[in-house]
């Protein structure tokens, strides 16, 4: 009897366990890889086209043209803001007809070639190139002819070689090119020529004076120049042996040069390109008589290396200077002023003993000049002055300075001091260079201050508990500043950006594109009109034209999301929670599977990027869905949120919260917000919280697994700076801090202490995957490898993937990395492991025409 009772008890227990397991399994989502595959970047390119208007401002009047693509094809428009008119740049059907008749290639209104317009004839006509499928003999270039002439000097040893090269000299067949002109409003196309667009290789090296009289470039690390006549020869044929080059400097050398950077070249490419002309970056005076060059001495900075094992027959080495935080040596900077007429030069009087960075202020580029053949950088001042700033190595001391362009004498105009790091924006000159606008966070919020050019404060232009982003323009007559800002409207997400105007005396603050949206603006050079693109993550993007009074001139476009919606796409949801302090508001976005079932228990994944220069939280609708929407479709709730110490678009307190604690500062908020979300939503499984991110997000996601090992159960960390002591000094020393200390001999030393991830390797409990590219010259793969080394020594199981030949962003292996991430979280949270050798979700959408 007792045995029977025991058997019945065991049977009942097993039944209850099975029922519980069955119920547990039924509440766990099944991975939906096909849904995620639908929203690959390639597929999205077929579903969503234009989502914003990018105005190409013209020089005459307040006019611009733009392209806008929908599911019906591309249309081109020209807008005249003064006349409140918008019309097609041309009739698509007529353009298709003309192109078909002339090129003999078929076109229709929906399928026109890709255009790259050049406005000509006082902007009454456009020119563009079209390549046809017709094959023609390629025209010989001058350098081909010169080469043939050189080969006419026959010797016994060259006769045989000429016979061998005979076939190579035959004209090759190439696609015929048409250079067209279309008069706006006309009834046909004019063929300008059938010559293909010349390669503009000169743009890679030529720095042309504003008056086109002289061209500067770098060669063998020295400064060279040529006159206009010889430059035109180089434009026609860079190998023309009659080109006269003039060497200006003789003391240039590698890493202490006058231009000619080889960053990104491996050692073989560096040797191959050593005799080529290279660019020299600098700033011109408006009269073309002076050229200001910032020369950096990095010879004493140690090298760093990456090796590309997949680039060719032999692995190649790439060497580059890389300053790491806490190293005593630092870059040394000089400011040289080259006088063009006399070919002399002087140096601006700088304190070369101080470890500091220097930035020369430049005149803002005109929007209407963006597409010009050459667009030289100009000094901010037109009156023989060089305005620049210096910032100390610890980023706590910023000086706004001015130097005389003829003598190099300099003086400090404005000093900024702070106990954390100082950020800056371009200086603005106005009122015939008697006043200047200076951006600073001295009140704990970012604002503009009006100074005279002797450095005397006149008044605050903006003030209050909001963040001014930057100046967009200044109306000199009305003394009005146009600027973008965050957080002025207190009933909105403080990250939403809007355009405002205010009088320079601080009065008359006005929003010019108000509304509960995030916006991006593009203002005309005249400051009379601006294009506003606006949306939220959960609205259809729209574009409009407004005047500088805020008046709506016309609605321009509304994005065509019809095909996207037809796939079952759903907008994400926004939320606001409290940080771990119970006071600070944290803003975030939640992404759900489109087949969401509230009866299921979904694992929660956090996508993170800690900044502190930004946060990973989308504020506008974005077609880039690979890191958020797609992951949710696999079968997860995916959230992205801010954290104290994140984005600078709030108070300086919020932004600098993590100063001195760059590893752990944001993790408590990530955990606390996840718990609040689970409390509000029964469908979130708080026992299955994962985290993933790239770069700083790779660093943060691994740190979360090690600092809160009982909360975060799985992570995928890619390209992470796990050991910030070997990441670049600018980011680490700025956002974490570096201490200046003086030794007994009076020498300044730099102390940099930061917690790294590998020191906590023994804490790992969950399932971690690490990924890095092997030629990442931004976040060196050594950071990830050190983490791997520590985990092995701690006897931990984990996954590791090396992306061969990939830089920081993973390039053509980005899609592969997405499926690694999907596999990892599916295995550990959805109880389903992908075991097929082929990643069919990638293969399915690729044509099988190539072997």
Q: Over the stretch 369-420, which tens digit does the pLDDT of each residue have?
A: 988 888 999 999 999 999 999 999 999 999 999 999 999 999 999 999 999 9
CA dist., res. 430 & res. 503, Å (int) = 13
The answer to whether residue 326 is domain-embedded is: no
Is residue 14 pLDDT above 60, yes or no? Answer: no
Task: Tell me what the pLDDT averaged over the chain comes to.
Answer: 92
Q: 630, 841 in Cβ contact below 8 A?
A: no
CA 469/CA 497 separation, integer angstroms: 8
Q: Is residue 340 part of a domain?
A: no
| CATH number for position 790 | 3.40.50.1820
DSSP 342-359: TTEEEE----SSS-EEEE
Q: For tokens 């009156």, what's the residue?
A: 383
- pLDDT for 850: 62
Per-residue pLDDT, 19: 46
| 3-state SS class at 643 | coil
CA 163 to chain centroid: 52
Give 724's pLDDT tier (boundaries 50, 70, 90): very high
pLDDT tens digits, residue range 422-468?
Answer: 999 999 999 999 999 999 999 999 999 999 999 999 999 999 999 99
Confidence of residue 151 (pLDDT cuts 50, 70, 90): very low
- pLDDT for 18 beyond 60: no
Bigger pLDDT: 335 vs 351? 335
> At which residue do the structure tokens 């000097």 appear?
153
Reply yes or no on whether the pLDDT at 11 is more than 70.
no
Q: Which residue range forms the structural domain that includes residue 827? A: 573-722+757-833
Residue pair 653/465 in contact by the 8 Å Cβ criterion: no
Q: What confidence score (pLDDT) does residue 470 get?
A: 97
- What is the predicted pLDDT for the residue at 851? 53
Tokens representing 565 are 């919606």
Read off φ and ψ for residue 217, nearest 5 degrees: -160, 175
| 65 bridge partner residues | 56, 78
Cα(420)–Cα(397) distance, integer angstroms:
10
Which of 184, 199, 214 is the C-terminal boundary of a domain? 199
User: What integer pLDDT is reported at residue 426 of this predicted model?
Assistant: 97
The pLDDT of residue 648 is above 80: yes
Structural domain includes residue 351: no
pLDDT tens, residue by residue, 787-835:
999 999 999 999 999 999 999 999 999 999 999 999 999 999 999 999 9
Is the pLDDT assigned to residue 51 strictly greater than 60? yes
Q: Is the confidence at residue 727, as pLDDT, over 90?
A: yes
| Distances 322 to 268, 295, 304, 364, 847 between C-alpha atoms, Å | 20, 17, 6, 30, 42
According to DSSP, the residues that pair with 718 across neighbouring strands are: 694, 771
Give the number of C-alpha atoms closer than 13 A to the C-alpha of residue 187, restricted to the C-beta side. 0
Place of tokens 């092995």: 792
In this predicted model, which residue has the larger pLDDT, 636 or 739? 636
Is residue 22's pLDDT more than 60? no
Is residue 64, in this structure, part of any structural domain at all? yes
Is 291:259 a contact under the CB 8 Å cutoff?
A: no
Q: Enumerate residues 6+ apart whose C-beta is below 8 A from 562.
A: 71
Q: What is the pLDDT of residue 546?
A: 98
In a domain, 776, yes or no: yes
pLDDT for 777 beyond 90: yes
Distance CA 583, CA 573 (A): 22
The number of domains in the chain is 2
| Residue that is written with structure tokens 């037109």 in the block | 382
Tell me, what's the pLDDT at 747?
82
pLDDT at 340: 97
At residue 848 the predicted structure's pLDDT band, cuts being 50, 70 and 90, is: confident
Q: Are strands 190-193 and 207-208 parallel, antiparallel or unpaired?
A: unpaired
pLDDT beyond 90 at 255: yes
**CA-to-CA dists, residue 214 to 206, 208, 231, 369, angstroms:** 10, 6, 8, 20
Tokens of 542: 């729209």
* Residue of 435, 431, 433, 525 lying closest to 478 (CA atoms): 431
Lowest mean pLDDT among 132-141, 273-282, 645-654: 132-141
Q: What is the pTM of this model?
A: 0.91
Q: Tokens 């759903």 appear where?
A: 570
Residue with tokens 């500062």: 665
Has residue 678 been placed in a domain? yes
Statement: residue 171 has pLDDT above 90: no
| Alpha-carbon gap, residue 727 to 721, rounded angstroms | 6
Q: Rounded distance, CA 681 to CA 673, Å?
A: 12
Q: What Cα–Cα distance (Å) separates residue 20 from each residue in 10, 13, 252, 263, 635?
A: 15, 10, 76, 60, 21
Indicate whether 89 belongs to any domain: yes
In contact, 636 and 644? CB cutoff 8 Å: no
Overall average pLDDT of the 663-669 stretch: 93
pLDDT, position 4: 53
Which pLDDT score is estimated for 593? 97
| Residue with tokens 């605050």, as numbered in its chain | 460
Mean pLDDT calculated for residue range 96-123: 95
The total of other beta-carbon atoms located within 10 Å of residue 167's CB is: 7
d(CA 475, CA 380): 17
Say yes or no to pLDDT of 510 above 60.
yes
The residue with greater pLDDT, 317 or 264, is 317
* Lowest model confidence (mean pLDDT) among 171-175, 721-725, 806-810: 171-175
What local confidence, expressed as pLDDT, does residue 139 receive? 67
- The answer to whether residues 647 and 615 touch, using CB atoms and an 8 Å cutoff, is yes
Instruction: Return d(Cα 644, Cα 661) in angstroms, integer.
Output: 12
Q: Helix, strand or coil for residue 515?
A: coil
Q: What is the 3-state composition of the chain as percent helix, strand, coil, each rounded to the nearest 5?
A: 20, 30, 45
Residues facing 439 on adjacent strands: 448
Asked if 309 and 774 touch (Cβ cutoff 8 Å), the reply is: yes
Whole-number pLDDT of residue 483: 98
**Token representation of residue 240:** 């023309």
Asked if residues 410 and 350 have their Cβ atoms less than 8 Å apart, the reply is yes
Phi, psi (rounded to 5 degrees) for 80: -110, 100
- 115 domain residue, yes or no: yes
Give percent of the chain above pLDDT 70. Answer: 93
* DSSP character at residue 171: P
């Amino acid at each position: 009897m007792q045995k029977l009772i025991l058997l019945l008890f065991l049977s009942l227990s097993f039944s209850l366990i099975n029922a519980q397991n069955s119920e547990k399994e039924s509440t766990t989502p099944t991975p939906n890889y096909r849904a995620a595959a639908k929203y690959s970047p390639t597929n999205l390119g077929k579903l969503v086209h234009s989502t914003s208007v990018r105005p190409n401002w013209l020089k005459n009047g307040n006019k611009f043209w733009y392209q806008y693509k929908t599911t019906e094809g591309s249309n081109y428009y020209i807008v005249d803001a003064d006349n409140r008119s918008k019309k097609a740049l041309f009739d698509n059907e007529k353009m298709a007809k003309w192109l078909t008749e002339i090129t003999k290639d078929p076109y229709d209104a929906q399928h026109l070639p890709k255009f790259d317009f050049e406005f000509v004839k006082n902007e009454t006509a456009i020119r563009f190139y079209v390549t046809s499928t017709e094959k023609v003999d390629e025209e010989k270039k001058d350098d081909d002819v010169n080469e043939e002439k050189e080969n006419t000097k026959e010797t016994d040893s060259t006769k045989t070689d000429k016979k061998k090269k005979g076939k190579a000299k035959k004209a090759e067949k190439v696609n015929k090119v048409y250079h067209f002109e279309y008069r706006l409003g006309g009834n046909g196309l004019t063929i300008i020529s059938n010559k293909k667009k010349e390669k503009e290789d000169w743009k890679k090296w030529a720095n042309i004076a504003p008056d086109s009289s002289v061209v500067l470039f770098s060669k063998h690390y020295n400064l060279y120049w040529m006159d206009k006549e010889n430059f035109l020869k180089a434009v026609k044929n860079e190998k023309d042996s009659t080109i006269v080059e003039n060497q200006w400097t003789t003391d240039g050398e590698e890493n202490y040069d006058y231009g000619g950077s080889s960053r990104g070249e491996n050692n073989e490419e560096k040797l191959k390109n050593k005799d080529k002309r290279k660019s020299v970056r600098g700033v011109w005076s408006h009269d073309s008589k002076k050229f200001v060059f910032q020369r950096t001495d990095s010879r004493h900075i140690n090298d760093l290396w990456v090796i590309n094992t997949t680039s060719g027959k032999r692995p190649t080495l790439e060497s580059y200077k890389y300053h790491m935080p806490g190293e005593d040596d630092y870059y040394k900077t000089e400011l040289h002023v080259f006088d063009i007429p006399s070919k002399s030069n002087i140096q601006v009087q700088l304190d070369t003993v101080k470890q500091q960075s220097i930035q020369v202020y430049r005149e803002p580029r005109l929007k209407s000049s963006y597409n010009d053949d050459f667009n030289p950088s100009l000094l901010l001042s037109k009156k023989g002055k060089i305005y620049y700033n210096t910032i100390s190595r610890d980023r706590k001391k910023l000086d706004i300075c001015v130097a005389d362009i003829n003598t190099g004498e300099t003086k400090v105009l404005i000093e900024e001091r702070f106990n954390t790091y100082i950020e800056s924006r371009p200086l603005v000159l106005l009122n015939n260079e008697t006043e200047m606008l200076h951006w600073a966070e001295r009140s704990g919020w970012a604002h503009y201050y009006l100074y005279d050019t002797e450095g005397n404060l006149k008044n605050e232009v903006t003030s209050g508990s909001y963040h001014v982003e930057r100046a967009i323009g200044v109306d000199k007559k009305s003394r009005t500043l146009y600027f973008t800002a965050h957080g002025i409207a207190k009933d909105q997400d403080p990250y939403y950006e809007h355009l405002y105007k205010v009088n320079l005396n601080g009065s008359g603050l006005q929003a010019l594109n108000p509304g509960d949206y995030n916006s991006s603006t593009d203002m005309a050079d005249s400051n009379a009109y601006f294009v506003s693109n606006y949306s939220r993550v959960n609205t259809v993007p729209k574009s409009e034209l407004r005047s500088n009074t805020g008046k709506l001139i016309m609605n321009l476009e509304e994005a065509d999301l019809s095909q996207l919606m037809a796939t079952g796409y759903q907008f994400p949801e926004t939320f606001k929670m409290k940080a771990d302090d119970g006071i600070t508001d944290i803003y975030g976005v939640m992404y759900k599977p489109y087949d969401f079932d509230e009866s299921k228990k979904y694992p929660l994944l956090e996508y993170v990027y800690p900044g502190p220069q930004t946060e990973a939280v989308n504020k506008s609708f974005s077609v880039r869905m690979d890191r958020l929407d797609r992951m949710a479709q696999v079968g997860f709730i995916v959230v992205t949120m801010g954290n104290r110490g994140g984005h600078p678009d709030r108070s300086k307190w919020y932004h600098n919260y993590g100063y001195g604690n760059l590893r752990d500062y944001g993790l408590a908020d990530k955990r606390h917000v996840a718990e609040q979300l689970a409390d509000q939503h029964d469908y979130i499984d708080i026992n299955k919280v994962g985290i993933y991110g790239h770069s700083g997000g790779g660093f943060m996601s691994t740190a979360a697994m090690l600092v809160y090992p009982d909360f975060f159960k799985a992570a995928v960390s890619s390209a992470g700076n796990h050991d910030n002591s070997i990441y670049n000094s600018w980011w680490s020393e700025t956002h974490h801090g570096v201490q200046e200390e003086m030794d007994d001999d009076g020498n300044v030393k730099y102390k940099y202490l930061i917690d790294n991830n590998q020191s906590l390797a023994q804490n790992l409990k969950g399932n971690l995957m690490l990924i890095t590219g092997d030629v990442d010259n931004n976040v060196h793969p050594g950071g990830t490898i050190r983490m791997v080394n520590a985990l092995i020594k701690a006897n931990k199981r984990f996954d590791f993937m090396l992306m061969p030949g990939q830089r920081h962003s993973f390039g053509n292996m980005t899609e592969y990395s997405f499926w690694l991430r999907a596999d990892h979280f599916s295995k550990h949270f959805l109880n389903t492991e992908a075991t097929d050798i082929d990643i069919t979700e990638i293969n399915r959408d690729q044509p099988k025409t190539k072997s």
